[in-house]
Structure 1
Amino acid sequence: MRLTYFPPGMRLQTALCLMTVVPRTSLAAVIRHTPHLGTYTHDGVTCFKCPPGTYLDKHCTGDFTYSVCNDCPVGTFQTHYSQATRCSPCQTFCLHDDKLEVFESCTSTHDLKCRCKQGYYLQVIDVFSDTKICKKYSSCPEGQVIKKPGTSTSDTECGYCPEGQFSRDGQCRTCSSCSGENNTQLTPCNGTSDTLCLQHHTNDTTELVTGIPEITTHKKDGNIGVVVVVVPVLLLSLIAAAVLLAVRYVMARTGQKGIYSIELNERRVTESLIDRSNSMCSTQPPRKKQRTFSGSSAVSARTVSSFPDLNDPDMWKLRVFDLLCSRLTNWKRFMRHLPGDAEYRSNVTSRCEQIQWEEQGDVREQIHKALGEWSRCNEEGYVKIDSILDTIEHVIGHNDKLYKDVWDLCCELANEQKQKHTPQSVV
């Protein structure tokens, strides 16, 4: 070991240096081993972020010290360490699917949590937009049993019984054995039926173990007529078993085809959106017909407008954007589905995150800023009132109140434009 000697005059200076360095080193170690704390810089001073469930009230005044953080008010939450000056508002109910139910109320550290009701599970139908729906548990087809029950996030898992067992009433049962010198196996055990055995009794009686009525033979003049009776029975049993297996095979094939047809029809029904071409302005929005970009979650721009009187965005942007700012909940997902050119679609996700950071705590301003950028950055063919309506329908639903309110507002704006351009009668 090498020892370093300090002259008497340097000992005080060395001690002071150690007192200055050690605290900073300890703080660096704390930050390195607890990266979730996080820091930020304000007026040249490094402060610790406020923990989840709080918001920033006052910045710190010394390096590596805590800012003044207040608890989130009731009805708001904050999930991360941040320097946000406001907490986000809680959702008041589960959105988009009537099969969802609340299983955990909103707290200061997380939003309202929802899950599918009993008998349903959450299925992702669009991985790009994280669109999910509650779907009913699948039932196991004939010949299979439940291997794993469905949960709130996964469907029922079905499978076949292991070798040596068959399924009956949704349960696996052990196959019977035709062991013994007095038993004859007619048909083997399979996935849906037990072994069929023919049993010969020592009292000259023959029966099928699985339920075929007992056939009794009698001695005549000291001879047993077993061969005369048993051989026809065996032949008839084999023919009946073959016919039964053939019928079940045909039924199974027909059932699989029917299930496939049902699933195909469900998929076609799911892939529907609204066709409002040449529609009249009314309080009842028209039926659905969906169109999306190939390989994208964005809704495509329409070529025929439902409101030709609102072809200029300046006629509707201000009032429609104000309505969206007060009603949208998951605004970032809404922006990802709005139609736009290739540059918009490639940058929309990162830009939404940046806008949320720039306008922390003010959700209305975040939405207004994002909508404003969408209307300025895209070509005129994308920025239409139909793009707003199609996106609300795709993200939230055609029957949602927001969709009807936007539709009614467009009707009102269209009527105003017609009145402006209608010549006044001269008296």
Structure 2
Amino acid sequence: MLPSFLVILFFVNIKTAVCSCAASEFSVDRQCCPMCSAGSSVYKPCTHDSSTSCIPCERGTYTEEPNGLLKCFPCKNCDQALGLTVRHECQRHKNTICGPLTGYFCSGKARGGGCDQGQKHTVCKAGQRVQSQGTAESDTRCEGCPEGTFSTQNMSLDCTPWTDCALNDKVKYTNGTSTADVQCQKKQPVALIVGVMVGLLCLVVGVICWKKKGICLNKQSSETEDKGTEESVLPIQESMLPAQNEQPNNASHRMYPSLPVKT
């Protein structure tokens, strides 16, 4: 029974020794010393004869609460590579507060306030429109252009309706898309179209006839040349016939001389 009582008394004494310092004190070598105020740190702990000696935090360091620290905390760095910029400069009693760069939003909140990570706003592209602008706390929201409208530039606040060709007395040449307008062209008169088609048809028929006529003329000229050649040959042959006929007669006279006629 006695040993158990001694054990309980030991733990009570330990707890009393540990928790004997007040909330505004810190323990050093089993002695409670007054804490230094925010924005400073302990230069020399207290002794039996003197209180705690404190020193202000150096530039680039801070403490936000009363403390018994021998050194102040280093100030936070707002890294631009993380999309951050300084929103509030570091002071002896307050750490740096970072915020997102212009065109960025905070995608990671810091525990003591501010931002730990920034992300670039989304860019609404051609074929879209801005549904809501991005802020330091939220990203840009985009939506596609409704049917019958289009946008040609990034970050368009609204989509433009397609052109109605009929209002300008024109006809549609190409359909519109989410990034391009309808293309229109002037109406062509029906009589003009028919006249052009008829003219082209006549031209084709004329060319065909001209080609066929050329062939016929060439054929007739060749036949005429052949006929003329035959006619020029025939008179020559006929003119030669009497000469050929005379030769036998002369020969017969030579073979048979004429006899004197008896009276």
TM-score (norm 1): 0.26
For the pair shown, the structure with the greater C-alpha radius of gyration is 2
- What TM-score comes out, normalization by structure 2 length? 0.38
